[in-house]
Structure 1
Amino acid sequence: MSPSSNGAAWRSLRSAAIALVVSAVSLVAACGGGGSGNDAAANNGGGSPSSPSASSGPSQQPIAATAANTVPVTVNAGLTGQLPNIPTVSVTLCVAGTSNCTTVNNVQVDTASFGLRLLASALPASFANALPATAAAGGGTLAECTAFADGYTWGSVRTADVKLGGETASNIPIQLIGDLAASSTPQACANIGAAQDTVQDLGANGILGVGVAPTDCGVSCTTASGSNYFACPNGTNCAITPAAIAQQVANPVPHFATDNNGVILQMAPVSNSGAPSATGTLVFGIGTQSNNAMTGAQTLATDQWGNVTATFNNTALKAAFLDSGSNGLFFVDSALPQCGGNLGSFYCPSQTQSLSATLTARGGATATASFNVANAQSLLGNGNNYAANNLAGEFGSATSLDLGLPFFYGRYVYYGIDQTASGGKAPFVAF
């Protein structure tokens, strides 16, 4: 699991060759979000059983990504030609306070993790070397091991100006994945699984975590016993170390000068039979500009990582989260047949199913989340579809509901940043 026990899910399909041949999904847990360990919601009912009739789905259209507080989002074949439902944006990095900048394309938008993590290989070597390394409290370079269910990312913490559209987060900590020697990897990190330090592993050049938390670990990492940060003298002999909140990999959004209280991920609707590509817009700020008002949305207060509870198929679930970093809808439903073979535990019902769950917020407010589940083989078997609004499978905990990117198509999904540390608003999600 992730460094905190509250790991948000980031999933990807892996292919043996091309999109025509799709392997079993692998769950990747990023810091924050996911299974929170909260008590299950005390709701009766709240969640429909499988139905043979598929709903038409939501149909909201994204706004044009032309304003300073917007960036365009793209889903397509991506860098590997193997992974469906990977939403990406371009991110510009600058050596803090200078005009020495570079733009990294194909960075995955993840609304259930927090902070920017880029493959060192996606940056010019001279630029990467120019980014100042963060000093650990006990001396040496500060590095982080971010745990995933099928592996880990390992790399140093650097500082940089992060530019998204017309917004800038100045001099914030980011992670460079794979910039340290493999031999420096702590055993505790290596025990998790394989290193996720290449484009083939990640399916993107990095991960942009813009969920509700301001940093990727929070108070738990300020003590060595709860930390996933390491001090690496001369880049070697790395030992676990506490990391002050100001040193932790930071969500860029709260560091913008304006439009810093949240984000809206708006994805265009796609056909129920899938599509080769999809577009969307990532909007910064909620209620701060004429283009980011929140109207007509179901709003749910969350825990610090963006989790609520849920009831699905008359079963109370401990955690539910809206996660653009998951490429499918993930939950347990014994009534749905699994595909098997290369598609593993993805669902392959003979007819598209229409399902719903009741999400319960902190404080007791509820909202209904409706979604379809189609036959994964029919969606992906032709090798041409990289956007699917009804791709689902069984993976992870039987007590959680992961509403991944398929849930976002045709919707505006809002994430209110946790501002309680400064006396502001508590975190929330809305759709």
Structure 2
Amino acid sequence: MRTMQSVVKLRGWVQAVVAVALVSVVAACGGGGGSSSSSNNNNSSGALNGGSLPPSPTQLPIAANAANTVPITVARGVNGVINIPTVTVTVCPPGTTSNCQIINNVQVDTGSFGLRVVSSAVNTSLLPVSTLSSGAPLAECATFADGFTWGTVRTATVQIGGETTAAIPIQIIGDPAAGAVPSGCASGPADNTATDLGANGILGIGTALTDCGATCSTPSTAGNSSNYFTCSGGTCARATVPLNQQVANPAANFAADNNGVIVQLPPVSNTGQSSATGTLVFGIGTQSNNALAASQTFATDGFGDMNKSVYNGTTVQAFFDSGSNAYFFADSSLAPCGSNYPGFYCPSSAQTRSITLAGQNSTTASVSIGILSAATLFGNTSNYAFNDLAGQIGGNSSFDLGLPFFYGRHVYYGFDLTSTTGQTPYVGF
């Protein structure tokens, strides 16, 4: 999933559409802070306007001082998009840790899978283009909720914090070597630059190991639904791509601490604040600093979705998505914003809504979220971290628990290791 973007801070709000990760896979101690002029639970009558918000969670991130950790920053970033959590990623030529390139402001996205870096942030001559057994070079069209990325698939060694992968496939977004976007690629705007993305790349670390899986590796489905293309003479065709050549989740390819991740962000003020600093922890139960301490865990499908959840009496597909900058769900009782902030909710007073989360197992839990008017929140144009921003979504079958859900929580993602007789995927908090 990707973010909606601010007219105040970037290029105009984009109407929310169907909330998915990648369209092609639908079938398929101490630490944080961030400055604020108000308290973490600011319930001033001016902001709430007679309404109320649920208590904010209060967990703090651990210090990002171990090899299996890296700091997460929510701030202005590369182009002033709100609620974008970013980390620093290092990309090296495959099989080496020399001639490496440090890439700052890469978005942490638990709703997608694989590393994608804009071409302007990396010297692509150091990273070979992936090819099929036929010798045909690979390019990819990855489709997100607010647009698509087009670029080559290249091979790299990836370092994050003190963790390192072997050589894995990544996408280089907007790479001129990919050629023109094929007509069958996707609809919506192209997110092929840092300005478009609001970041220098996307670090997809959700529960899946690759970004497409069987849909793209099986000829009968790849012909119509593959993300991947081979192009020659200006003509492109969808390609069948083995799992080991698909853009891969880097966190699942570390030598150790590779069974999951924990996203930890600090509490923030209910009226927003300028920044927040948290920690991304690699591995679950593999080190003394990453024990599974969730009060609730939910078995999910392969893409991290809780498909038996219920909102307003309707069964919905719910998911925790750090790559969405608001809660996104359908609720006709919430007033939408006007033309200044299309796609977002602007209730006249603070609101509380509850959703019952239900996993593939028998675990259920009711979660309450707070909602303030987007117009109120965006009144302070120096704030980039918000815990109660919500927007509309196409249809009523999905409930996207975006970045606001993460503040004051430790959110766990156990990777889908069933292909190696390992754990089934799960999420928790």
User: Are 1:132 and 2:128 matched, yes or no?
Assistant: yes
35 and 422 in structure 1: CA distance in 2 versus 1, 3 angstrom threshold? closer
State the identity as a percent.
Answer: 53
Aligned residues of 2:268 and 2:276 also touching (Cα < 8 A): yes
Instruction: Look up the match of 2:340.
Output: 342
Aligned residues of 1:184 and 1:237 also touching (Cα < 8 A): no
Letter in 2 for 1:228: N
182 and 217 in structure 1: CA distance in 2 versus 1, 3 angstrom threshold? closer
Deviation at 1:363, TM superposition (A): 2.5
Instruction: Look up the match of 2:2.
Output: 10
Structure 2: distance between partners of 1:166 and 1:308: 32
Residue deviations 1:72-113 (CA, integer Å, cap 9, x gap): 0001111112x1100000000011223110100000000010
Residue 22 of structure 2: which of 22, 31, 35 is its match? 31
Instruction: Look up the match of 1:145.
Output: 141
Correspondence list, 1:310-349, <5 A: 310-317=309-316, 319-349=317-347
Aligned residues of 2:320 and 2:401 also touching (Cα < 8 A): yes
Correspondence list, 1:124-273, <5 A: 127-180=123-176, 183-189=179-185, 191-222=186-217, 223=219, 224-225=222-223, 226-233=225-232, 236-273=234-271
Aligned residues of 1:33 and 1:305 also touching (Cα < 8 A): no
Deviation at 1:227, TM superposition (A): 1.4
Deviation at 1:116, TM superposition (A): 0.1
Q: Please state which structure has a larger fraction of its residues in strand.
A: 1
26 and 78 in structure 1: CA distance in 2 versus 1, 3 angstrom threshold? farther
User: Are 1:308 and 2:306 matched, yes or no?
Assistant: yes
Q: Helix, strand or coil: the match of 1:257?
A: coil
TM-score norm. by structure 1 comes to: 0.89
Aligned residues of 1:24 and 1:342 also touching (Cα < 8 A): no
Structure 2: distance between partners of 1:170 and 1:182: 24
Q: Which sections of structure 1, spanning at least 5 residues, go unmatched? A: 1-8, 38-50
Residue 94 of structure 1: which of 89, 92, 95 is its match? 92
Q: Helix, strand or coil: the match of 2:196?
A: helix
Deviation at 1:326, TM superposition (A): 0.2
Aligned residues of 1:142 and 1:230 also touching (Cα < 8 A): yes
Structure 1: distance between partners of 2:25 and 2:383: 27
Residue deviations 1:182-233 (CA, integer Å, cap 9, x gap): 75321101x5133211112101001000000000000110123231111134
The number of equivalent residue pairs is 401
Deviation at 1:375, TM superposition (A): 1.0
Q: 25-34 or 237-246, which moves further after superposition?
A: 25-34
Deviation at 1:339, TM superposition (A): 1.1
Structure 1: distance between partners of 2:294 and 2:169: 36
Q: Helix, strand or coil: the match of 1:414?
A: strand
Residue deviations 1:275-311 (CA, integer Å, cap 9, x gap): 0111110000001111001124200000001101211
Letter in 1 for 2:59: Q
Q: Helix, strand or coil: the match of 2:125?
A: helix
**RMSD across aligned positions (CA):** 2.0
Letter in 1 for 2:137: T
Instruction: Look up the match of 1:114.
Output: 113
Residue 285 of structure 2: which of 284, 287, 294 is its match? 287
Residue deviations 1:312-367 (CA, integer Å, cap 9, x gap): 122222x1100000000001111111111111131111221122110111023212
Deviation at 1:24, TM superposition (A): 4.4
Aligned residues of 1:148 and 1:192 also touching (Cα < 8 A): no
Aligned residues of 2:114 and 2:204 also touching (Cα < 8 A): yes
Aligned residues of 2:6 and 2:82 also touching (Cα < 8 A): no
Instruction: Look up the match of 2:401.
Output: 403
Structure 1: distance between partners of 2:58 and 2:178: 46
Q: Helix, strand or coil: the match of 2:4?
A: strand
Letter in 2 for 1:12: M
Instruction: Look up the match of 1:423.
Output: 421
Q: Helix, strand or coil: the match of 1:23?
A: coil
Structure 1: distance between partners of 2:24 and 2:357: 15
Aligned residues of 1:216 and 1:249 also touching (Cα < 8 A): yes
Structure 1: distance between partners of 2:146 and 2:15: 10
User: Are 1:373 and 2:371 matched, yes or no?
Assistant: yes
Structure 1: distance between partners of 2:163 and 2:131: 27
Q: Helix, strand or coil: the match of 2:376?
A: helix
Letter in 2 for 1:417: F
